[in-house]
Copies of this chain bind each other. A is one copy, B any other.
Amino acid sequence: MLALNLRKYRQAQGLSQEELADRADIDRTYISALERSVYAASIEVVDRLAQGLGVEAADLLRRPATSAKEPQL
């Protein structure tokens, strides 16, 4: 689920992969790969991505179903 959520939250904030890469201090091409679900990221990068996006790490792993208490997009 990470891939879709990642892209969803990133685009919702109008961020490019590169901007997010800077914020999270993660390689740009790796973020691209994560959004295409090429790898199973470690929880450490999930944390950094979540911080860069201003959401909880748990939010990035949640499955699509939009539960009432997801952070506002």
Contact = CB atoms under 8 A, between A and B. Distances in A.
Number of copies: 2
Nearest to A63: B56
Interface residues of A, number: 13
A43 B40 CA distance: 6
Nearest to A46: B43
A65 to B, nearest CB: 11
Interface centre among A56, A58, A59 (most CB of B within 10 A): A58
A40 B41 CA distance: 10
Contact of A40 (B44, B58, B59, B61): B44
Interface of A: 2, 40-44, 46, 56-59, 61-62
